[in-house]
């Protein structure tokens, strides 16, 4: 087994949101364009057991423990794909170069031309990709995400990796909904389910309000319902950090009574966006 040169080899992770959105291949093409070649890979079918160790710094110094647990929401979406990528270029500082190519953790703050901005990550948690910041971090995180054997070697042949990516993405429908699409979709289903409870005036206003990306439209929509309606709180919720936080488990129970449900992507987007600002439709 060839020795890994950690000064030029980086741990690169595709979390479940990248696979659900079928964006792994475009990212691999970006990596190739900038001289980064995958050399090893590993599929993670469940939340990695070393995830707490990996996020220890953020847990203790950046996030509250409650915020950190939102990482579980992301890994519950499905499998992840971990890679070791080697910088084949002669440029210095591979980890810094890849960090710049990836873009800021907040997709809305990432510069155009970066992966997270151009491919439109949803928010800090659903941000499409992760890469290690230093050779030491790469060595450590490779053990967490790929085990001591550091995954399956490619031996210069990218075919097996591309075939695996095709299978993983073919296993789930391509997800294209961003935050505003998810919020509008949920509101629209609720309005449709409650159509018989709306008066003629409310029926004229509700369709446009349901699909609006304008913050505040939800409160206007909720006001169209009969007083004290159990779904008014959900319709009024903006699902943004500056607003009231909704317990989605309780909300799901109320929705079920009216024949409405949330899929796992909607739940993940709305749950995480209540803590981390999402990239918006107009950005």
Give me the helix-helix angle, 94-102 and 135-146, nearest 10°: 70
Integer Cα distance of 86 and 142 in angstroms: 13
Q: Which residues have CB under 8 Å from 133's CB, separation 6+? A: 95, 99
Give me the count of residues in the chain: 283
Integer Cα distance of 25 and 120 in angstroms: 15
Distances 167 to 13, 41, 146 between C-alpha atoms, Å: 17, 15, 20
* Choice among 22, 95, 130, 267 that is catalytic: 130
Specify the DSSP element, H or E, that contains 40.
strand 36-44
Q: What is the DSSP letter of 197?
A: G
Task: Enter the tokens of residue 183.
Answer: 């919020």
Between CA 65 and CA 57, with CA 144 as vertex, the angle to 5 degrees is 35
Integer Cα distance of 17 and 79 in angstroms: 9
Closest CA to 272 of 178, 176, 173, 168: 178
Is 130 known to be catalytic?
yes
Around Cβ 127, how many Cβ atoms within 10 Å? Answer: 26
Q: Which residues are catalytic?
A: 130
């Amino acid at each position: 087994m060839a020795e890994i040169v950690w000064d030029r080899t980086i741990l690169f992770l595709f979390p479940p949101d990248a696979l659900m959105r079928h964006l792994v291949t475009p990212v691999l093409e970006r990596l190739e364009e900038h001289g980064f070649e995958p050399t090893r890979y590993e599929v993670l079918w469940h939340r990695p057991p070393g995830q707490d160790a990996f996020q220890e710094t953020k847990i203790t110094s950046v996030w509250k423990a409650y915020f950190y647990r939102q990482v579980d929401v992301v890994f519950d979406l499905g499998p992840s794909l971990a890679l070791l990528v080697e910088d084949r270029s002669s440029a210095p500082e591979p980890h810094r170069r890849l960090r710049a190519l990836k873009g800021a953790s907040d997709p809305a703050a990432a510069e155009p031309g970066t992966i997270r901005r151009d491919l439109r990550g949803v928010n800090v948690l659903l941000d499409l990709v992760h890469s290690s910041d230093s050779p030491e971090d790469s060595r450590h995180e490779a053990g967490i995400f790929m085990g001591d054997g550091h995954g399956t070697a490619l031996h210069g042949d990218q075919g097996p990796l591309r075939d695996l990516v095709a299978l993983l993405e073919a296993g789930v429908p391509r997800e294209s909904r961003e935050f505003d699409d998810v919020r509008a979709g949920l509101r629209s289903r609720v309005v449709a389910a409650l159509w018989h409870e709306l008066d003629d005036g409310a029926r004229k206003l509700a369709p446009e309000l349901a699909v609006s990306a304008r913050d505040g439209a939800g409160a206007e929509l909720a006001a169209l319902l009969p007083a004290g309606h159990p779904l008014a709180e959900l319709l009024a919720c903006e699902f943004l950090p500056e607003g009231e936080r909704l317990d989605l488990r309780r909300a799901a129970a109320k929705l079920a009574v009216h024949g409405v449900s949330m899929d796992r992507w909607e739940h993940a987007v709305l749950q995480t966006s209540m803590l981390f600002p999402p990239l918006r439709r107009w950005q």
